Amino acid sequence: MDAQTRVWMVQGKQDFVAKLEPRFCGCFCGVKEIS
């Protein structure tokens, strides 16, 4: 990236299914980051 960069991609978009993994609601279960 050069000094003129004004847009940085931090997290690319996730497809509808992939973004649901890990899933289930965080209120009751909350186990995350299963890999």
Partner 1 sequence: MQATGRYRLSRYVVSVPLSDRHTILHSTLYRSTVVVANDLLSEVGYRSGSVDSAQLAEAELRPLIEQEVLVSEEVDERDRVRYLIASTRFDYSVMEVMLLTTRACDFRCTYCTEAGRYAGTHMDSSVARDAVAYVKRTCEARGTRHLIAGFYGGEPLLNSPTMVHVADALREALDLSRIRLTLFVISNGYGLTETMFDRLAAAGIQHFQITLDGPEEIHNARRRLEDGSGTWRRIVENVIHMMGDSRLKGLSIRVNVDAHNAPWIPQLLDDLETRGLLDDRKRVQVYVAPVVPSPEPLRDWNRYILWGEEKARVLAGLWQMMEERGIPVTAFPNVYPCGLTVEWGSLIDPSGDIYACAGFLGVPEYIKGHLPEGGVSPRHMRILLEEPRNPCLDCVWVPICGGGCRHVAAMLGHPHCDKAFYDAAYPAFLRIVTRQSVEGREDLRQLAACI
Nearest approach, Cβ of residue 1 and partner 1 (Å): 5
Nearest approach, Cβ of residue 29 and partner 1 (Å): 7
Q: Which residues contact 22 (CB under 8 A, 6 or more apart)?
A: 31, 32, 33, 34
Asked if residue 22 lies in contact with residue 34, where contact means CB atoms within 8 angstroms, the answer is: yes
DSSP assignment letter at 18: G
Q: What is the footprint of partner 1 within residues 1-35 (CB under 8 A)?
A: 1, 3, 5-14, 16-17, 19-35
Q: In the complex, which residues of this chain contact partner 1 (CB under 8 A)? A: 1, 3, 5-14, 16-17, 19-35
